Amino acid sequence: MVFLGNCMVLHMIRTEPSLHEPMFYFLAMLALTDLFMGLSTVHTVLGVLWGFTEEISLDSCIAQSYFIHGLSLMESSVLLTMSFDRYIAICNPLRYSSILTHDNIRKIGIIILCRSLLLISPAIIRLKFLNYCRPHILSHSFCLHQDLIQMACSDIHFNSFYALALVVSIFLLDAVLILISYILILHVVLAIASRKERMKSLQTCVSHICAVLVFYIPIIGLTMVHRFGKHLSPLVHVLMGNIYILFPPLMNPIIYSIKTQQIRRRVQRLFYLKGS
């Protein structure tokens, strides 16, 4: 469902000329990020759940950890960019097309990619040089940085502090900036005289707000479980981990297919043509 949903969104954006707008280009970035998150974890998640595999090499584990955390940072960056897109569209609509040109969207995409994959690299590279002498049992059916440093006997202060700095400087900062953008949007929308126009403006933000909640709630939940839930049942850790990996990529295509009018119409037309 994750693969089908995100591939369908990408196919519709690519083939439908009316969706060739900045908002939907950013949605395509989100769908690509979700798709790669699925691809980077499917072999171990299904392997463990179906009983085909119980082991993973250290190098493969480190590589998977790099992609999982890098793609999480990327998704946070894309959601921040989408909130900026909604802010410009509602608060400064006359300059929308001149600010979000194709060239600027391409530059934003490159910045998001570099920001995400380069910033996570020091902590992940350091994992290769740690000595692992504690029981090599992972908490999840995929590899996380938190799991690997808990198995290490080496000095992990750099990894711990660097990971905390990343959480504060990216996840927390992005969340605060998204909140600020919506406070500004709300301020502008409430000043609109017509109730119909207010509802129409807010309606364009609903799907993005849902995507933000679907992304941040599992991350906060998993972080809390890792930090304060060591006494909890392993089932809770496994459940929260799988929600963190699977829930956003699964829900985003559903949210945008239901809440975004242009995509909803395109989906209805697609299934109508198949049915006829």
Domain ranges of the chain: 1-267
User: Which residues of the chain, if any, have pLDDT below 50?
Assistant: 276
What is the per-residue pLDDT for 273? Answer: 59
Q: Where are the beta strands (DSSP E) in 158-259?
A: none
Instruction: Give yes or no for a contact between 72 and 30, defined as CB atoms under 8 angstroms apart.
Output: no
Paired tokens of 173: 């900062």
Instruction: Give yes or no for a contact between 268 and 24, defined as CB atoms under 8 angstroms apart.
Output: no
Q: Which CATH class is domain 1-267?
A: mainly alpha
What is the per-residue pLDDT for 194? Answer: 76
pTM for the predicted model, two decimal places: 0.91
pLDDT in tens, 21-46: 999 999 999 999 999 999 999 888 88
What is the per-residue pLDDT for 275? Answer: 52
What is the per-residue pLDDT for 55? Answer: 87
What is the per-residue pLDDT for 216? Answer: 93
What is the per-residue pLDDT for 272? Answer: 67
Distance, first Cα to last Cα, the chain: 24
